Structure 1
Amino acid sequence: MLKTLFLATVAVAMPAAATVSVTFDDLINSGPFLVVSNPYTSPQGVVFTNDSPNAEALIAWGSSDSANADPGGATLVNNYSFTSTTISGPSRFTLTAIDFADPFAGAVGGDILLRFLFTDSTTADLTLSLSGDAGLTRFTLGIGNLSAVTYTPLTTRGPWVQVDNVVLDDVVFGGVVPEPASWALMIAGFGLVGAAARRRVVVA
């Protein structure tokens, strides 16, 4: 009984991993563009912070604007050249996929630098290249154990870039989910604690 109660308490205390898809559709607007707060926090709790000190550092194109790579929807755009935007919020996540586009949704290519910050504080860089087709280019990555990702347009027009459909898996807010090996050790330990508790009860 004690072991069952202890395990139930631990299960409640441990944060659950989830999947999050940020579409920016909460930013849909009918104007030429919408100035977005910086940092911008999505309804799912994912934070996008641009390093520009300017008040209009982030914008979303209007739903019918020809520059919008997601017609009828919305994308997030850095409004100043040579700036970086950091994706954060969860304490751990996997960047499964992300869409980038030319800032004006044109058939123009360019490179974007991604810098990954892992939960162990190490970093790694990856350069993505737009396809050169009009609209969004989908990048499937599947890079896990991240605490933040920073993207910086390098050779796109501006350089600016618009982003959409950010898919995060294994998302954890407010804590870190143990690795499988750690779970195994924890469960074994819980079993020993429960067995010891039973013996004490029997002896008493």
Structure 2
Amino acid sequence: MMRPTLTAAFLVAAFVALPATAATLVSRPGAPDPGPLAGESRVVTFDAANAPGFTWAGAPATRATSLSGTAAAPAGVTNRFGFVSTAQGQPASATLRTPALRSISLYWGSVDGHNRVTLLGRNSQVLGQFTGNQLPAQNGSWWAANANRRVGFVAEAGTWIHAIRLDAGGIAFEFDDIAANAVPEPASWAMLMAGFGLVGAAARRREARMMKAAAV
């Protein structure tokens, strides 16, 4: 399935000022989920194994349907979704550890002001902290498009996201289809650079042949 392209008309940006690092919040309303941000791929769906390198340190609860007083499925979601909640017997917090990321996004259901997202860097330093109060229409609606949103977090230049912590200060914080844009591993960069070198060499040989033919 093609991933939607993120356009400026849909962006709502908020900046978190930190001493040395920062992250940017972007969001799009959607019911159902408008899909990952540009350049991202789904890495956690709650219906299959996580993508390699994405592991929970304290996993969220999951459900396939809404349950009053516990969790409401994000609008348009008919499969399993994740949630944290202060409801009895449910985890109130979950942390997803990740490879180095440029960005990470999730489909945030029925946004409430007590929902909180914390982005963590390589040494668990806080890169940014966001709550539902920073999003439009944080009224907890189960179905309203404005209260069910694709919300993304983008690392500032020179900073990489290494974990995302999801906390509920009430009932509940629901999410699904976590997507990410990972920074290539060093080996991948080496292969990419080698590929560019081969392409460049081939182009130079082709140009030389064309110049030689033109001189004849």
Distance in 2, matches of 1:47 and 1:150, equals 12
The 1:120–1:95 alpha-carbon spacing in structure 2 relative to 1, beyond 3 Å, is same
1:138 aligned residue: 150
Q: Deviations over 1:9-52 (max 9, x none)?
A: xxxxxxxxx8431352526xxxxxxxxxxxxx51454223327x
Task: State the 1:121 CA deviation.
Answer: 4.5
Asked whether the equivalents of residues 46 and 87 of structure 1 are also in contact (C-alpha less than 8 Å), the reply is yes
Alignment of 1:46 onto 2:54: yes
Distance in 2, matches of 1:43 and 1:78, equals 21
Q: Deviations over 1:145-181 (max 9, x none)?
A: 0111111122x42xx31111212102557x7988xxx
Larger radius of gyration: 1
Of 81, 85, 104, the residue aligned with 1:96 is: 104
Alignment of 1:151 onto 2:157: no
Q: Deviations over 1:76-134 (max 9, x none)?
A: 123645721111142x11333222224xxxxx732322222212553234222163232
Q: Note the residue ranges of structure 1 that are not aligned, 5 or more in a row.
A: 1-17, 28-40, 52-56, 103-107, 184-204
Alignment of 1:84 onto 2:93: yes
Of 107, 112, 137, the residue aligned with 1:109 is: 112
| One-letter amino acid of the structure 2 residue matched with residue 75 of structure 1 | F
Of 161, 164, 171, the residue aligned with 2:176 is: 164
The 1:72–1:168 alpha-carbon spacing in structure 2 relative to 1, beyond 3 Å, is same
Distance in 2, matches of 1:137 and 1:101, equals 7
| One-letter amino acid of the structure 2 residue matched with residue 170 of structure 1 | A
Asked whether the equivalents of residues 94 and 142 of structure 1 are also in contact (C-alpha less than 8 Å), the reply is yes
1:1-204, aligned counterparts within 5 Å? Answer: 19-22=40-43, 24=45, 26=47, 42-50=50-58, 58-62=61-65, 67-69=72-74, 70-78=76-84, 80=89, 83-90=92-99, 92-102=100-110, 109-119=112-122, 121-129=124-132, 131-132=138-139, 133-135=141-143, 136-143=148-155, 145-154=160-169, 156-157=170-171, 160-171=172-183
| One-letter amino acid of the structure 2 residue matched with residue 71 of structure 1 | V
| One-letter amino acid of the structure 1 residue matched with residue 115 of structure 2 | I
Identity within the alignment, %: 14
